[in-house]
């Protein structure tokens, strides 16, 4: 009877350990996915900010180029 009780306790402890291990594994996978998603959002945000800055600088250079072209045309007209 005592051995049967020990076997039952051992079986129950093994089952609970397996459940706990499965729970920990699921939590680890969930956390890993959450971290991966967070990194992706941060990367996307960073790249969007860089793109915005580059676009702003390109627009400024376009304006500068247009101003230079306009002045150049004026100088050509004056020289005629």
**Percentage of the residues of the chain whose pLDDT score is greater than 90:** 89
Q: Decide if pLDDT at 3 tops 80.
A: no
Give me the chain's average pLDDT, please.
95
Q: Decide if pLDDT at 6 tops 90.
A: no
Q: What is the pLDDT of residue 4?
A: 83
pLDDT band at 13 (very low <50, low <70, confident <90, very high): very high
> H/E/C letters for each residue in the chain?
CHHHHHHHHHHHHHHHHHHHHHHHHHHHHHHHHHHHHHHHHHHHHHHHHHHHHHHHHHHHHHHHHHHHHHHHHHHHHHHC
The pTM (predicted TM-score) of the whole model is: 0.63
């Amino acid at each position: 009877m005592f051995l049967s009780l020990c076997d039952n306790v051992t079986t129950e402890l093994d089952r609970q350990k397996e459940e706990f291990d499965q729970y920990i594994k699921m939590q680890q996978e969930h956390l890993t996915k959450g971290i991966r998603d967070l990194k992706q959002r941060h990367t996307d945000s960073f790249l969007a900010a860089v793109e915005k800055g580059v676009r702003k600088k390109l627009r400024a250079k376009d304006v500068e180029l247009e101003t230079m072209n306009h002045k150049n045309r004026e100088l050509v007209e004056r020289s005629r």
